[in-house]
Amino acid sequence: MYEVELKVRADHDTVGERLDEIGAQRIGTVSQEDVYYDAPDRDFAETDEALRIRTESADEPVTRLTYKGPLVESESKTRQEAETAVADPAEIRAILDGLGYEPAATVRKDREQYAVDGCTVTLDAVDGLGEFVEAELEVEDGIDEARGRLETVLEKLGLDPEDQIRTSYLGLLLAEADADPTDP
């Protein structure tokens, strides 16, 4: 499975008005906490991979373990992704601990999700980073076609697909921390 994603910085009030105008279907809101791990046997920053535990607070809290492979193209933030629900978050943390995986960073965000033309559009408010809009599709193949659909959705929202950010929220937060001279 591939997650094809386009992400841009955008003002949520402006995009929210546009979502209303085009008749987007509101899916709901959720808060997420993503704890990313470093591997004992390789540097995920070098291999462009990620391993995370995501805890989602909605009606019922849900925890998932996710592996994200390296980017597969230069035109979008497309990655191979494998994800599974976790019955006991403390046990999965204990397993990763036992294997030598260590928490590297935590990303917290509030998300408001919409359906637009078969795509998921998410308004993300990310702690320490600000407001973003993501448009995404999950596909088995047909990455180019999926990217084209996402570009069309962003354009309907008055956003320029050329402004996309291919760096993950984790990467953006780590770059912010590196650039902050007051950060010890």
Residue 180 has pLDDT above 70, yes or no: no
Q: Give me 156's structure tokens.
A: 């309907």
Cα 168 to Cα 44: distance, rounded to the nearest angstrom: 13
Residue 182 has pLDDT above 60, yes or no: no
Position 5 scores a pLDDT of 93
Q: Residue 88's beta-bridge partner residues?
A: none
Domain borders along the chain are 2-179
- Would you say how long the chain is, in residues? 184
8 A C-beta contact, residue 70 and residue 49: yes
Give tens-digit pLDDT for 74-115.
888 888 999 999 999 999 999 999 999 999 999 999 999 999
Position 24 scores a pLDDT of 97
Q: 2-179 in CATH: which number?
A: 2.40.320.10
Residue percentage of the chain with pLDDT more than 70: 97
Q: Residue 136's beta-bridge partner residues?
A: 5, 120
pLDDT confidence bin for 179, thresholds 50/70/90: low
Cα 70 to Cα 128: distance, rounded to the nearest angstrom: 24
Active site residues: 36
Write out 23-50 in H/E/C secondary structure.
CCEEEEEEEEEEEEEECCCCCHHHHCCE
Of the candidates 89, 85, 47, 88, the one whose C-alpha atom is nearest the C-alpha of residue 68 is 47
Residue 2 has pLDDT above 60, yes or no: yes
Amino acid at 72: V
Residue 173 has pLDDT above 60, yes or no: yes
Residue 12 has pLDDT above 80, yes or no: yes
Q: What letter would DSSP give residue 116?
A: E
Residue 128 has pLDDT above 60, yes or no: yes
Residue 183 has pLDDT above 60, yes or no: no
**Cα-to-chain-centroid distance, residue 34:** 10
